[in-house]
Structure formats: C-alpha cells, structure tokens
Amino acid sequence: MRRTVTAILLAGGALALLPWLGLPLFYESFLYLVLHWIVLATSWNILSGYSGYFSFGHGAFFGAGMYTTAVLGTRLEWPFLATLPAAALIAAAMGVVLGAVVFRVKRVRGELFALATLAFTFVVGTIILNTPIDGGPGVSLASVGIPKLGPSVPGTFYLLALVLAIVTMLAAYLIARSKLGTGLFAIHDDEDAAEVMGVPTFRYKLGAFAISCAFAGAAGGIHAMFVSYVTVGETFSITVPLSVVLMSVLGGTRHWAGPAVGAAAITALLYAFTTGDHALLGKAVFGAVLIVVILFMPEGVLGWAVGRLRRRVQPTVASAEVPRPTRATRDMGSELLVARDVRKSFRGVQALDGVGLAVREGEILALLGPNGSGKSTFINVVSGHYRADSGSIRFAGDDIARTDAHRIARMGIARTYQIPRPFAHLSVLANVALPAMFGAAALDARGARHEAHRWLEFTGLAAYAHAMPADLNLHQRKFLELARALASRPRLLLLDEVLSGLTPGEINGAVDLIRAIRDQGATIVFVEHVMRAVLALSDRLVVLDHGVVIAEGAASTVLSNPDVVTAFLGTAHA
C-alpha cells in the first residue's frame, strides 16, 4: 500500500517539473485538460464506480464549483486560490443535501439514481441562470488575478490541475483499500446483504458522494479560471456527466486508476481525431472506438487487464476437515432474544400476526412451519432487513425493532440467506472478511482477513479463498454464507434453510458444523424443513402458522401436537 502511495507521489513530483522543460505552451494546455478530466472521472468513480450508484449529476457539482469561484472571485474579490476550497465545500454540501434525500428512498437505485441526478443538474443550471448568480449573459473572470505558480499561465493551470489530480487519485486509491471502499464495493454487489452484515450503507454512500462532489467542485473552480468565461449553457450540459461516465467505464470502474486511464485515453483520442482536417471522420472513429471497447471489454481496459493478470486459482479439492469438539453440556442461560407481538404485513398479507417467542442464550432453536407461515419474515425482521410494523424485539436487553440493520449486525446478530447472496465481484476471502470487519467482531482489515481464513478453514473452503463466488457450487456457496455469518462473531446466529438443496451426505457434514458452531458459544435460531436435521440439532422447537406461534417446546411434544399436525398436513376429512 505504501509503495503505491509513494509511486503516485513520485510520479506527481516528476510531472511537476514539466513546465520548466520549455515545451510549447500549447502542450501545457493540452496536459491541463487531460489532468482536468482525470480529476473529474476519478472523483466520479469514488461514489459511482465503487458503489454502482451511477451519477449523471457530476456536471451539477462541477458547475457549482465553477460558479462559486466565478462569484467569489469577481463580486467579492476573493483571491483565486482562496475560492477553491470554497468551491469544493459548496459542491460537497450540495451533494450531501441531494444524497440525504435521494439515498433515503430505497427504490432510487440504478437508472433512477442516474436520472434523478441528471435532472438535478438541469434544476441547478436553471436556478443559476435565472438568479443574480449568473442572470443570463454569463460571468467573466477577466478581472480576477492569476497567481504565478509556473513559468507561464498555462504552466500554472497545469500545476494546479496536477496537484488536484494527485490528491484525487491518492484519495481514490486509499478509499479503495479502506473500510469505506470495502463497504462501497459490497454495496455495488448487494446493498441489502451489505447492510445486514453491518455496512452503514446510508452513511457510506453519503460520505463517498461528498468526497466525490468536493473534488468535482475544486476542479470546477480551476476550470472557471482556465476558461475565464462561465456560462450556464456550457457548464450544465450533458457533456460533463456523459464524459466522466464514458471515461470511467472505458478505463474500468472497479479499479482506482481506471478512470484516469480512460480520461487520458479519451482526451487524447478526441484531440487526435477531432482536430485537424478530418474532424468529422475523427468524431465517427471516436464513436466506433467507444462501441468496440465496450463490446469487447465490458469491464473496461484496466478491468480486462487485471482480469488477465490475476492468477487463475485452481482450487484443489478440499478435504473438508471439520473440527468436531465434543458437545458440551451446558445450562440454558437467560433469554437472549425476546420478541413480543411482532407484526408485519405486505400490502394486506399479514406475514407476522403477533409473534411472541424467546430465545435462550446458548440454545439451538428450530423455527418450523409450512410455507408462508412467516419463518423467513421473522428472520428478516430480527436482522433488520424488514422493519416490524409493531411489537417489540429485545436483544440482550435493547429494543432492536426499529434499529437499522447494520447496527443490529454490530450488536451481534448475524444471518444467512436461504438463497446464498455472496458479493459477486469480491473473492471468497473478501466475502468472509467483510462481516468480520463490519459485524460484531469489528476487526481491522488485517485482523478481518486472518479471521476470514479461520472460518474458511472451519467450513472447508480454505482452498477457495482466492476464487470468486461464481466458481463455487451450491453446497460450497451455502457454506460460504455460513462462514460469512460466523466471521462477524455473532452472539445470535439466524440460519435460513442452510440445508435445503444439499445431499444427505452434505447434510451430515453441515449438522456437525452447526453443532461445532454452538459449542463455540453462539446461540442459533434456524429455519429448516429437513426434519432429520431438526431432530438432531434442536434443543427446542417453535412452530409458526399464518404468522402466529402455534406450539413450542421439546421436539417430542411439539410434533405430536394436533394443531401442528393440522398446520402441516391439513384437516382430516372423514
């Protein structure tokens, strides 16, 4: 990590000498533009590339920066350099306000987010056009003095953009390697699963948005001075958002340096093709290059290159050596989870109709019931995936019925999904390290990787640590779910049909594994249809039907309960 940071700084230092080499001024302006687009594309990528929330509103924040510098420089006569932090701040503040509204609405993902941000651009542009900020004719910065940093004016702009580009790329790199970056990549693949594993998705998106907007704002501030005449029509157009998206996708959005590669390539291509005698042909060639690259390298140039370089992992067949500690006899402790009168309905379907049950510390509780009886909904409500309409859920004394899912995860509840939901673009190891970082264990990146290795060993997936989830079969993916839940070191583990779809042999292995988990100190609630496993594992049974608890107790008494028989088999007609 330190090596890359040093390399970025050294490259920046070397490039900073360029204005003194006596190149034609024209080159400095061209290089300024390359750096300008590197800043815009890289900053865009911090939110949009990493988390998958493609913003088409980057022009709004860039434009906000331009107008901040224009207004502060001309009307309030601030020195140019002093306007740049203000430009960054105002852009970031706008991003936070927009994000705080848009990120609250769960539906606004993907295309809807893209459009909402695009619309925002035109709204901001219209407001600036019609208010004294611009007023229509545009703002000229001719009166603002340019500080002398380089030997020439273009050299000065080049140096300013270089500094900003270095800072932006450092930020992009450090974020990609940080906890924030890990969380953003998880949001990209499966936001709900990330939240349930303890990633504070709302805060992370908002933070990434603010950082992304701040750099765009600063770039706008410099650019206002560079063009020296700012108009709404030029600023708040579709050009900036489209260009940054194209550049980032071309370079590869999952790599911190991808947008920079794309920005340099497109700026150079546009220059090479659209100046000179054959501008029109150049434009068409540019369009064709774009199409060909996207068709043949959908992951972007760097994504493609990294994919080719990555050592193809050949997973050796794992000897699934499951630790089998002797089953400790223990007293069933106090009540760890108490649900009272929990209700949840979906558009008139009452999935939970006043569920009340208690889970004791250290026990394995099986949750049974026919299809549609509310078992999975109950797991979803306890883990915070859904919010209960009413009722209380107390976990270790705290009411969690209205707590965000990521907080619940941090308090010590982990869950698996019935259909495994691994983060598709993260390695198996990273998939398991994520909850270790964000869940109750709250380890740092190093500790989380160590912990992840431990649980991969435990679930027999150690040989696949560097494989991608898509390389695993169903059985292994189910165990990956388990390893992810365990890596957060939960006090309460919610297992949603981990055994369904497994062969009898695999079920035996899984049953041993679940016992071993309990013996390490976790309390387990599991939803299961495989009765053999239920009888082998559970200390107690709770049976749900139509969203209410109809029986609970030891297996022998519960299963002979006439209500339970009716729920599963229907009423006998004579």
Partner 1 sequence: MTLPSATLLAQSVLSGIFIGALYGLLGLGLSLSWGLLRQINLAHFALAFLAAYLCYQLSHVMDPLATLLVIVPLFALIGVAIQWVFARFRVSPFNSLLVTFGLTVIVEAIIQGIWTADFRKLESSYGAAKFKVGALYVPVPELMTLVVAVVLALAVHVVLRHTDLGRALRATAEDGPIAAAFGINERAVAMGLAGVCAALAGVAGVCLALSYTLTPSQIYAWIGVVFATVMLGGLGGAIGPLVAGVVIGVSESLTMAVTSPAWAPLVSFSLLIVVLLVKRGAVK
Give the interface with partner 1 as residue ranges (CB under 8 A).
Answer: 54, 101-102, 105, 107-108, 110-112, 115-116, 118-120, 122-123, 125-127, 129-130, 136, 237-238, 242, 245-246, 249, 280-281, 283-284, 286-291, 294-296, 298
In the complex, what is the shortest distance from the CB of residue 240 to partner 1, in angstroms, rounded to a whole number? 13
Render 66-105 in DSSP notation, one character per residue. HHHHHHHHHTS---HHHHHHHHHHHHHHHHHHHHHHHTTS
Cβ proximity to partner 1: between 233 and 397 the closer is 233
Measured from the CB of residue 265, what is the shortest distance to partner 1 in angstroms? 14
Shortest CB 534 distance to partner 1, Å: 32
Tell the smallest beta-carbon distance from residue 300 to partner 1 (Å).
10
Nearest to 477 by CA among 193, 128, 131: 193
Pick the closer one to partner 1 by CB: 45 or 476: 45
Q: How far is the CB of 125 from partner 1 (least distance, A)?
A: 7
From the list 218, 225, 72, 61, the residue with the least C-alpha distance to 157 is: 225
Least separation in angstroms between CB 61 and partner 1: 16
- What is the nearest approach in angstroms of partner 1 to the Cβ of residue 213? 17
Q: At closest approach, how far in Å is the CB of 94 from partner 1? A: 14
Dist CA 58 CA 258 (whole Å): 17
> Look-up: residue for tokens 């949001």?
187
Least Å from the CB of residue 69 to partner 1: 23
Hey, which residues does 340 pair with through a beta bridge?
A: 392
Nearest to 406, CA basis, from 260, 192, 169, 217: 192
Query: Which residue, 136 or 397, has its beta carbon nearer to partner 1?
Result: 136
C-alpha pair distances (Å), 140 with each of 70, 75, 158, 185, 521: 8, 11, 21, 42, 69
Is the Cβ of residue 123 or residue 170 nearer to partner 1 in the bound state?
123
Q: Least Å distance between CB 103 and partner 1? A: 11
Q: Which two tokens stand for residue 502?
A: 């497994």
Neighbours of 433 (CB within 10 A): 28
Q: At what angle do helices 504-519 and 474-487 cross, to 10 degrees?
A: 10
The minimum distance between CB 93 and partner 1, in angstroms, equals 18
CB of 127 to partner 1, least distance (A): 7
**Which residue, 10 or 281, is less far from partner 1 as judged by CB?**
281
CB nearer to partner 1: pick between 5 and 238: 238
CB atoms within 10 A of CB 191: 18
DSSP symbols for 3-63: HHHHHHHHHHHHHHTGGGG---HHHHHHHHHHHHHHHHHHHHHHHHHHH----S-HHHHHH
Q: Which residue, 73 or 125, has its beta carbon nearer to partner 1?
A: 125
Q: What span, in angstroms and rounded, lies between the C-alpha atoms of 558 and 541?
A: 7
Q: Which is nearer to partner 1, 269 or 511 (CB)?
A: 269
* Residue among 363, 362, 366, 360 nearest 379 (CA): 366
Please, which residue, 262 or 412, has the CB nearer to partner 1?
262
In eight-state DSSP terms, residue 464 is G
- Distances, alpha carbon 484 to alpha carbons 254, 430, 465, in Å: 23, 10, 12
The residue among 9 and 101 lying less far from partner 1, judged by its C-beta, is 101
Cα separation, 149 vs 547, in Å, equals 71
Asked if 256 contacts 172 with a C-beta cutoff of 8 angstroms, the reply is: yes
Q: Is residue 496 within 8 Å of residue 417, measured between CB atoms?
A: yes
Q: By C-beta, is 93 or 289 nearer to partner 1? A: 289
Distance CA(67)–CA(294), nearest Å, equals 34
Residue with tokens 């929330």, as numbered in its chain: 53
CB nearer to partner 1: give 181 or 300.
300
